[in-house]
Structure 1
């Protein structure tokens, strides 16, 4: 659950055009997030050492062999600017990608590559 702040007090002050509905939405989404995290945590504990990519309630098991695939133009054609950015950020193998695909989607450089 590293994706949420340690302290939620006053968080609403950072929302533009705050309304009471915002609190309701926050707690509904937080409840959903916690339920997803419980499932993920259980999965990780049941399958130690395995690599997973998560997208909301879905996940992909990445084998050790797949995690070692280099992020190169030879392996992933048509994504040269994405690969260049990843390599500049010292992400050179599939296993180095962030495990949370929602984070990838939210990153500016990924916008045109992921349309989940």
Structure 2
């Protein structure tokens, strides 16, 4: 069984492997960064947020959209400021380390 799985993965493109990982993790696609976006693996990336855009004044996205972004500490602070201003509502947060996501709570949106 394991050998068959490894052989199947060797015949797959990186895009196909990434799509399988997204489905396996139960992640949905939103506006903004994709689940396996290269920004996720950047050394400066420390946070991943999924948020709803509440106003037309939001600097990212359109009112009514749900977005995913991978952010540095500075970018995350700006997102928190936008949430305080009422432009967005963060519904999910994960710390990011070497591309791995560590969600604040198990039941958060993915």
Q: Same fold (TM over 0.5)?
A: no
- Normalised by the length of structure 1, the TM-score is 0.25
Greater radius of gyration (CA): 1
- Normalised by the length of structure 2, the TM-score is 0.26
Instruction: Identify the structure with the greater strand proportion.
Output: 2
Instruction: Identify the structure with the greater helix proportion.
Output: 1
